[in-house]
Amino acid sequence: MEDDLGLVERVRAGDEAAFAHLVRRYQPPLLRLAEATVGSRAVAEEVCQDTWLAVLRGVERFEGRSSFKTWLFRILLNRARSSAGREQRAGRPDDEIERFDGSGAWAEPPVPWSDRVDDQLVAEHLARRVQALLPELPDQQRQVVVLRDVEGLGPADVATLLGVSDGHQRVLLHRGRAKLRALLTVEMGSDR
């Protein structure tokens, strides 16, 4: 599998197949991030299209100071923010359960959900529920959770992409995960 930098060089040289390869490689994660950011599949698809057009127009300006994936996600987030035209909310949810005490230890340890998973179908259902619950998170929490837990980006890349400090990125991730956990706990409790 050819690395991103090699494909970028080929795109700069006008190689359409290299561009198509980058689109195949990154369209699914771009679409997930765009939808998590704007909240609408149709708008997310437009944002992705605008992102790829921006890549074609700006590929000469890619300097390689970050990975291509980080550069691409930054373009997408800029496009999504301008498309969404909404306020950024990163505050603490009113119904968040505090999971840690003053010393940083678990106030109430989580119950390992994997102990209750009977088979792969249940796990797949749970993953679909998490995906469906993502829109319930405030915008920045949702973006951090998608970038960290779905796309696997590192904390420094996520902080840079979102323009927040590393510490704030960790807080957003913790709050987003806690909110998802609370929503799942309510759902799982009501299914019994």
Annotated domain spans of the chain: 4-84, 113-190
For residue 4, give the nearest of 29, 40, 37, 32 by alpha carbon. 29
Asked if 133 contacts 183 with a C-beta cutoff of 8 angstroms, the reply is yes
Alpha-carbon distances of 133 from 80, 128, 161, rounded to whole Å: 20, 9, 23
pLDDT of residue 83: 76
Assign 106 to helix, strand or coil.
strand
Topology adopted by domain 4-84: Rna Polymerase Sigma Factor; Chain: A (1.10.1740)
pLDDT for 65: 87
Coil, strand or helix at 100: strand
Average pLDDT over residues 22-38: 91
pTM of the shown model: 0.59
Considering the four listed CATH numbers 2.170.130.10, 3.40.50.300, 3.80.30.20, 1.10.10.10, the one that applies to the domain covering 113-190 is 1.10.10.10
